[in-house]
Structure 1
Amino acid sequence: MTANHAGRPRRKWLRILLPAVLIIGWVAVSGIGGPYFGKVSEVSSNDQTTYLPTSADATQVQQRLGDFNDSEDIPAVVVVASDSELTESELTALSDAVTALPDTVPGVSDELSPLIPSEDGKAAQAFVPLDSGEGLRDTVAAVGDELRASAPDGVSVYVTGPAGFTADLVNGFSGIDGILLGVALLAVFIILIIVYRSLLLPVAVLSTSVIALTAALLLNWWLAKWGLLMLSGQTQGILFILVIGAATDYSLLYVSRYREELRLVQDRGAATMRALKGSIEPILASGGTVIAGLLCLLLSDLKSNSSLGPIAAIGIVFSMLAALTLLPAILFAFGRAAFWPKRPKFEPEVVAAEHGIHGGVWAKLAGWIKRRHRPIWIVTAVLLAVGVVGASQLDATGVPQSDLVLGTSEARDGQQALGEHFPGGSGSPVTVIAPESKLQEAADVLLGSSGIDGVTVAASDAPSGTLPVTSDGVGVPAGPPAGAPGAATAPIEPTVASGDVLLQGTLTAAADSDAAADTVRELRAELETAAPGAIVGGVTATAIDTNDASIHDRTLIIPIVLLVITLILMLLLRSILAPLLLVATTVLSFGTALGVAGWMFTHVFNFPGVDPAVPLYSFVFLVALGIDYNIFLMTRVREESLRHGTREGILRGLSITGGVITSAGMVLAATFAALSVIPILFLVQIAFIVAFGVLLDTFIVRSLLVPALSYDIGRKIWWPSKLGRGAA
């Protein structure tokens, strides 16, 4: 046996062994990571304060609360309300039910306040500290159920305040593992069935995407467990959608190339290697561009943004790896049968007769662009520019906490009932840490504000944990008269920690209202002069600092993302002009998507506003992913231009990639649209902007604007490379 013959069995075994090892390895990772879908809540947090920059006042206040109060519980505000004045017996029954909560509901602290009637007598409230652990949602629900069971007829019971709104968010995110993933996979499966008219191929592609997601989730879970990353409901949802969409897109690019090669070569192994060779550059370039854009989020002041960058980047890495290893191994194992019943035939003569331009709608579109390229790109650009005008209606200055969750909300209803009978900020006070020597000065600033209803100072020895503060000084809590049993033997002093005291001011307006935000900003300005060193925190301050950090982030990060992506495209396309045009068209598309979203959010959906982070997230996803399709197109155009000249290469590239890029765009739009099943305003708005923007990129920018503009410019599109000096 010759050396040549001896090598063939070894190569044959290697061709069988390598795909088998890849498939088994990926399936093993999936088996290990699968159970972690139900464990994300163990390492995630939806507390806004934990995502603020360490320099923010609200963060510093939150970190020091333990110095004045040993409890880490989160306060709930229980509100009972009636259309008529509550009777003495009704108040007694409700008060007894509140007092019994620590014994009847696990997770309720025994340091709760008594039931406090309103001045109009039609409502009462109590402050109930709850365990802030994983079971908060169940505890809030149990408190509400327990009190409603004891409430007299005609009396409504609500659980609101920080604990109530946090429970709302947890409820909103609870569908991520099941509903979101199910809807996204079903949408992708239906699209793939329609596009390929095959059953096995969609299963192979979706299996690749799900296994990539499992691997990404497994790694991110442990990084969060070790404290290296911070997971939240929104980052989890975005990770799921991004990996499913990106892995499917990359898979479709490989499938298209593999099918094309099966028509040119008989051997499926040779087809696999040729398909990999043709796919690896655009997939790596596309994925690398998305990763670079996502990692720019590390520059964010908000930890929710800076954590999303590496979390999502890890997802893209596994998406690329799975599309370039697992899927080729699966398709190699099945060969042409993977496309059944429309198996690609070995027909090199037919392919040669097509001259590289396939028939059908994309060949017709290429011919139309050849004849009418200048009117096409001018009209398209003008229409997109008109759409940008609507971006002025996008009010991205923040959303009240009570409007973060769509649909019904007990916490929101309770906040409304609270505002009708008590100061709107009850249960979510302004918290001020001030030097002990400036206690009275800080208190006077709070007392002098029309937005503050009352002021207290933390005092661990006081029965309620606080003492009232007036312009005359720190008051003494009501109690037995001097000399009586149980009377205090010495004046109760405020708690002092590291030379500071903690004051709380009850807001007259709801803590998430514009009026409350104005009050906090005014207090900060006045305290800077009256009590230097004082810092302001609380629910309202957290929202202010979050919004301010978000606005700073988008101003800083958006230009950097554009610069990074432009440089990557220059390296990939060996050109300066082409990348600049591609980025410009993508930015124009993004502006149009924002404009349409601004109009829809204001006049159709009647949303209360837009979170400042929505434009940043939408920009990163749309620009990075929108560039994906231009990369898929232009890398093939460059490949064809090297053989046939630029203008012919543009027509060939459009015709060859048209079907796969359109399919990929519909898949990505469908997966992002699936985010709208999670009733969180932030995610619903991102879902609309990105899904609409991806469709705009797919059907307008990549299909019409870019090819027509490139065709009009001709070979100069590749300036200053040698290709730019070749045939047009």
Structure 2
Amino acid sequence: MRAVKDSSTPPRAGSRRRMLPWAVLTLWVAVIALAGPLAGKLADVQTNRAVDYLPASADSTQVAKIQDALPGGESTDLVLVYHRDGGLTAADRATADRQAAALAGGHTLTGTPRGVPAKDGTTLMYPVSSTEPGQDDEARKAFVDEVRDVAKGGGGLSVEVGGPGALIVDSQEVYTSLGGPLLYTTVAVVAILLIVIYRSPLLWLVPLVVAGVADALSMAVVYGLNRGFDVTVTGQSSAVMTILVFGAGTDYALLLVSRYREELSRAARPYDAMAAALRGCGPAVLASSGTVAAGLLCLLAADLTSSRGMGPIAAVGVLCALLAMLTLLPALLVLLGRRVFWPLVPAYGSTPGQRRSLFAAMGSSAGRRPVAVLACGGVLLGALALGAFNLPGDLKQEDSFTSKPDSISAMETLAAAYPERSTQPITVIAPTDRVAETMAKAGATDGVAAVERGRSGGGWTELSVAATDAPESAGEQATIKALRDGLDGSHVGGPSAQQMDLETADSRDLKIVVPLVLLSVLLILIALLRSLVAPLLLVAAVVAVWGAALGIGGLAFEPVLGLKGADPGLPLLSFVFLVALGVDYGIFLMHRVREEALSGAEPTAAALTALRTTGGVIASAGLVLAATFAVLTNMPMVSLVEMGFVIAVGVLLDTFLVRTYLVTSASVALQRTIWWPGKLSRTPAAPGPREPELVRNR
């Protein structure tokens, strides 16, 4: 249909309208040209060692810092594990000795490797340590790869390379490999959903391209934050940022495109329709994204370095998605014109077809018996939340991958062959002038099998303590606590101590960040909705969703998915994301309820109309967001699988149960009280009797 020319528009204004989308597009091309090279460097600044996640004040962090300053710098500690099921032969032992000697001759080691045989004769381990790679990740990987090339088995002899150094390398390789598969899978999932939602061969591609541009911009910004402000970037935070850019960005695109399609039937020009669409849904999108960003930034109060870095990184993803969807997407849609909607092109002056809405039917059922629906929904969410008591114990290092790399397999072999001792040393950093006293106290501590002296420098000496209990067992943890209590002036670290410090920091952060998120989100909602009851309702709803989603995780992680532990950071991170993202949808719904109430609709009609008009687009947005987080369940890291599962389940619960039934039912049940103490909570005064009109006699 040919656009109708509006002769009332001044020529100069019409020219500006034509040029503005091109100017926006040109600006974005320049931005991406500058941001592209920086985005490609983000993977180079990722830190994925366990110690990099810890607070600077943690005892194990102090150990790592002092180790870096010792002669040779940070050490790469490995264990060569030789194993034969029927028992090692003399030839096997000769092979092990020869390979260990080759390593000692070809590399600078901190000591001569000595074999430690298992009592059952099936296994022989050679601890190997070197400061040769230093802190360079590439050098460490090259060193571990060379060790694996030298340590070879065959003929029934298995040779595995484990130890903390090998685990670090394997973890970094897994996180490095996430980028491509994560991006491709996310793009594919979003593309399929957009094709189904839009039913257009072209329209789905536009928001997807814009989301890709936003992702590149966010990576460049985060790289700048790392270089300029030392913000910690991990593989986990980078993955979550990409998910948020595509998930939240597509949500904003769905809302904008839906309103734009509606306005195209009222406006002759795409530019005017887009301007009206931005005026209509822009404030709600800005408010919701601002609330999400504010909730995420509360993670800056976390003590855990990885969580503290996650806050601004995730917020950058949301804000970059918002910026792209409110500037680049409108420009592209205006330039492409109505034909982008083909074959369902909205014609100027047409009336959208009215269909029986699923959400109208769902809202009507909730509106008939709101109190009963609200009570049943609350009981259901509470029952699901009880499943959280079935969450598996804290995640151990050997259970942190969905598939076993060589380092994890080596740990399992060692645990089975050496049940009487720990095969992962505890590191003690002691003042050099008190090293003899410290060694004596450490050796006399319950649970300690042996103590060996290591490097010295800068007034500190490194001690390697062998425990009698298996790594990360309750017995070894008790030994670490005893060493920390009994060795004044010393620091106790190592992989198991790092895991303990991680759990302690997560527990502390949960108590600090959760109230802060609730308070900040509540205050923002009060300001936006000009009410106290409605914000409390929305916050209570998303907290209930979080509890139910964790409960479903508890019922599924070990029994269904076979996951043997729960990531200590899961409760905090899932809470922050579910509260922020859940409130995001609540704002869209309650903002429309408030609009209807301001226009004079009665409370019940306002709630049902809001659900009917926003239900479809918000349900589509919820499906897209849940699907993008579900992509994480296909990743090789258990922590990402668990986070993706809980958040995806929570978003679905919020979309199809809480927002549809519970929030709507509460709005109907509370009537005007939901807006207390705002002016909408007051019943309008009934109109008084009309005064009789004076009739003039003719």
TM-score between both structures, scaled by the size of structure 2: 0.91
1:41 matched to 2:43:
yes
Which residue does 1:491 correspond to in 2? none
Secondary structure of the residue aligned to 1:274 is helix
Which residue does 2:645 correspond to in 1? 688
The structural deviation recorded for 1:71 is: 3.1
1:711 matched to 2:668:
yes
Q: Give yes or no for contact 2:296–2:576 (8 Å, CA) kept in 1.
A: yes
The structural deviation recorded for 1:208 is: 1.4
Which residue does 1:146 correspond to in 2? 150
Which residue does 1:114 correspond to in 2? 113
* Structure 1 Cα separation of the partners of residues 415 and 367 of structure 2: 65
Q: 1:582 aligns with which of 526, 538, 542?
A: 538
* Structure 2 Cα separation of the partners of residues 307 and 671 of structure 1: 21
Which residue does 1:671 correspond to in 2? 628
Which residue does 1:701 correspond to in 2? 658
Query: In terms of mean alpha carbon deviation, does 95-104 or 518-527 score higher?
Result: 95-104
Which residue does 1:456 correspond to in 2? 452
Which residue does 2:691 correspond to in 1? none
* Structure 2 Cα separation of the partners of residues 98 and 13 of structure 1: 77
Q: Give yes or no for contact 1:423–1:507 (8 Å, CA) kept in 2.
A: no
For residues 14 and 425 of structure 1, do their structure 2 counterparts lie closer, same or farther at Cα, with a shift above 3 Å needed? farther
Which residue does 2:74 correspond to in 1? 72
Q: Report matched runs for 1:347-496 at 5 Å.
A: 347=349, 350=351, 359-395=356-392, 398-422=394-418, 428-459=424-455, 495=456
Q: Amino acid of the residue matched to residue 240 of structure 2?
A: I
Q: Give yes or no for contact 2:296–2:312 (8 Å, CA) kept in 1.
A: yes
The structural deviation recorded for 1:722 is: 1.3
Secondary structure of the residue aligned to 2:137 is coil
Secondary structure of the residue aligned to 2:567 is coil
Q: Amino acid of the residue matched to residue 624 of structure 1?
A: A
Secondary structure of the residue aligned to 2:557 is helix
Which residue does 2:477 correspond to in 1? 517
Q: Amino acid of the residue matched to residue 611 of structure 1?
A: D
Secondary structure of the residue aligned to 1:174 is helix
The structural deviation recorded for 1:557 is: 0.7
Which residue does 2:497 correspond to in 1? 541
The structural deviation recorded for 1:214 is: 0.6
1:507 matched to 2:451:
no
* Structure 2 Cα separation of the partners of residues 652 and 177 of structure 1: 42
Secondary structure of the residue aligned to 1:644 is coil
For residues 16 and 601 of structure 1, do their structure 2 counterparts lie closer, same or farther at Cα, with a shift above 3 Å needed? same
* Structure 2 Cα separation of the partners of residues 417 and 371 of structure 1: 62
Secondary structure of the residue aligned to 1:337 is helix
For residues 698 and 425 of structure 1, do their structure 2 counterparts lie closer, same or farther at Cα, with a shift above 3 Å needed? farther
The structural deviation recorded for 1:672 is: 0.3
The structural deviation recorded for 1:31 is: 4.1
The structural deviation recorded for 1:536 is: 1.2
The structural deviation recorded for 1:110 is: 4.6
Q: Report matched runs for 1:193-232 at 5 Å.
A: 193-226=195-228, 228-232=230-234
Q: 1:25 aligns with which of 20, 24, 27?
A: 27
Q: Amino acid of the residue matched to residue 621 of structure 1?
A: F
Which residue does 1:603 correspond to in 2? 559
1:497 matched to 2:458:
yes
The structural deviation recorded for 1:388 is: 1.5
Question: What do the CA deviations read for 1:239-285 (whole angstroms, capped 9, x no partner)?
Answer: 11111111111111111111121122222222111110112211111
Structure 1 vs Structure 2 CA RMSD: 2.4
Q: 2:617 aligns with which of 619, 639, 660?
A: 660
Q: Report matched runs for 1:99-248 at 5 Å.
A: 99-101=101-103, 109-111=108-110, 113-118=112-117, 120=119, 121-122=121-122, 123-129=124-130, 131=133, 132-135=135-138, 136-137=140-141, 139-148=143-152, 151-226=153-228, 228-248=230-250
Query: In terms of mean alpha carbon deviation, does 85-94 or 46-55 score higher?
Result: 85-94
* Structure 2 Cα separation of the partners of residues 516 and 548 of structure 1: 16
For residues 366 and 448 of structure 1, do their structure 2 counterparts lie closer, same or farther at Cα, with a shift above 3 Å needed? same
Secondary structure of the residue aligned to 1:200 is coil
Question: What do the CA deviations read for 1:101-130 (whole angstroms, capped 9, x no partner)?
Answer: 4787xxx54546324141545423131436
For residues 102 and 641 of structure 1, do their structure 2 counterparts lie closer, same or farther at Cα, with a shift above 3 Å needed? farther
Structure 1 unpaired stretches of 5+:
460-494
Which residue does 1:260 correspond to in 2? 262
Question: What do the CA deviations read for 1:268-319 (whole angstroms, capped 9, x no partner)?
Answer: 2221111101122111111111111111101111110111111111111111
Q: Amino acid of the residue matched to residue 490 of structure 2?
A: A
Q: Amino acid of the residue matched to residue 400 of structure 1?
A: K
Q: Amino acid of the residue matched to residue 550 of structure 1?
A: D
Structure 2 unpaired stretches of 5+:
1-5, 686-698
The structural deviation recorded for 1:26 is: 2.0
* Structure 2 Cα separation of the partners of residues 189 and 199 of structure 1: 11
* Structure 2 Cα separation of the partners of residues 304 and 724 of structure 1: 44
Q: Report matched runs for 1:314-329 at 5 Å.
A: 314-329=316-331
The structural deviation recorded for 1:423 is: 7.0
1:615 matched to 2:618:
no
Which residue does 2:689 correspond to in 1? none
The structural deviation recorded for 1:88 is: 4.4
Q: Amino acid of the residue matched to residue 146 of structure 1?
A: V
Question: What do the CA deviations read for 1:120-179 (whole angstroms, capped 9, x no partner)?
Answer: 45423131436253334454344323321xx35221111110122112212322332211
Which residue does 1:466 correspond to in 2? none
For residues 193 and 407 of structure 1, do their structure 2 counterparts lie closer, same or farther at Cα, with a shift above 3 Å needed? same
Q: Give yes or no for contact 1:75–1:427 (8 Å, CA) kept in 2.
A: no
Secondary structure of the residue aligned to 1:198 is coil
* Structure 2 Cα separation of the partners of residues 707 and 44 of structure 1: 44
Q: Give yes or no for contact 2:75–2:129 (8 Å, CA) kept in 1.
A: no
1:649 matched to 2:629:
no
* Structure 1 Cα separation of the partners of residues 81 and 9 of structure 2: 81
The structural deviation recorded for 1:649 is: 1.7
* Structure 1 Cα separation of the partners of residues 585 and 229 of structure 2: 36
Q: Give yes or no for contact 1:127–1:427 (8 Å, CA) kept in 2.
A: no
* Structure 1 Cα separation of the partners of residues 37 and 304 of structure 2: 30
For residues 84 and 390 of structure 1, do their structure 2 counterparts lie closer, same or farther at Cα, with a shift above 3 Å needed? closer
